[in-house]
Structure 1
């Protein structure tokens, strides 16, 4: 399918980006999966190329590129030629925007430039052991002590967690209120901040994921983002964009799986002929092609909506739901078409199968996405009566 939202400058950019990921990221992927984290050098190299936080205004030393299509290309090429566990999109387009949207001029000047250069790795800590997708049910708390906040609690499943230099932590600031939450910028050297062991996952082995603990961490007032009681509102504002990032990666992952499998079924022979010539295989591939094109069109539309500041929570949820569900459907079908080889880790499709499963869970589960979409249709028990 011809993707009409890209222009000539985007095509040229993709060529350059592709070479970067093939030369600087992809060759290290296997070692990173073995060691359980991506080398910090990868962030530095991406920073040198200007590929991190491309949207940062020139006033803070950035490129000021707000066209999301450029970053969409970055993430697509990372999936194809790099390593999906290299979470530069989390760093650039999920965490950093909280600083850009809600930080003071001083906070932006302090935290954005080193993150843009790759010298500071960013993470965000929302999820808790007992809360999951229910952000309003978090237990981590911050108490106003006059000249600072006292932070206590624990977070889990934190991506970039073991290497992060700066973590934006969501904590309850208004006792008894489900929505009274603040966002706190915690630096790794603050006393009382500790990391747990890297969590062992079934996939995304190059992505460092940890538990984080906060034991009487003194957070200066200068490290609070915006109003300390409006963090839930802030998170709600940016979650649509986070879900779009997931959708971009998921549909790219599905496309790569399709391409790998198309080559495989053309080469693999059974009963004296390529398996791709069997009607069942042709129909499977044809169905996947049609579905990928349809969801890609939606994701590309959402990118343009985001460029116009028109991306809604519902549309972001739709893109995330469809892209992640399709990603898993496609990769599952591709494993099947690989036969026994599809279950062997030496084949990329097997690793992709394990990597993909979490996409239907993080950034809000598929069930949460359906809740958001369904409530927008007016199907809410608070509004409907029997």
Structure 2
């Protein structure tokens, strides 16, 4: 059974355009759309995070190749609102959108609001590299912390993103120069979903500047693709019945193998192995880096440097970023420095970053067990990761004073 509630027509059109793009190249791909808190777009009964991943795994095991793309697209155009634009073996992930992703106190919610108000994410080269869901977001002005979707491809491994997936997908995105001409000639349809042959050299070489300038496409290591995706929406114009218009939508998608394995993630010792497994569950450290307030990102860098100064086996960036998230919710609301960090104009970015790093280090030193769960991927536990068990032997012994 599939349900649509509080999920806009625009978002449905966007999801369908993304699905058609990916399945035109990889027909048997399963796509899982990451839905903001407050929206409901669920397939096959997959609703809550805890039970979702096992259900998703079973769906993927039963996955069958998608039907003919062009025929399916025409069918959906004839019944645009009758069903969800996901393949029968697709599901949905619920995006963790800050404090509203899980129950929290008003004080914690205020901390997040103030952090984003005072320290909003910064554009890179003039363009924002975070996902906004303004129509669905219950907390205005807070970027989403996940990509729009995760695509599951059989046999996919991390190097395939740059060598195989990105060249083929980017070749399907038309250049900006074609928009005006296509709109005028074909009434707004700017996308050709037919399979295209990719030159052999394209699988090995990507011209970053050309792709960004001409198509709005980019790779964000280690797991994220960005595309300026042409999406056809129903037109608001009353002059013509059933008219459409096409707009570019900045879209973020990550890729994973076809069998997400939560147990493998929990028992993995090597941080690099964990990094390769997390995208299957909607986690993107690249998306987090762009979407979080700058003091949190900078605090994570400070903690990594500090950790390397006293440990031969420093903990992963994912661990420290997660610990920063825990510190923001568990320590910052009641800490005496909160007023300075959140409300004083005199507090610089460097000072805020250092204060948050100190709070985080204090939390990890005194109560490391509070940081065992990944704040941004709650189903992941860090106990088995290299260096975390050793951390338990150093309770209240870490050189926290170095961060003051």
**Length-normalised TM-score, structure 2:** 0.25
- Higher helix proportion: 1
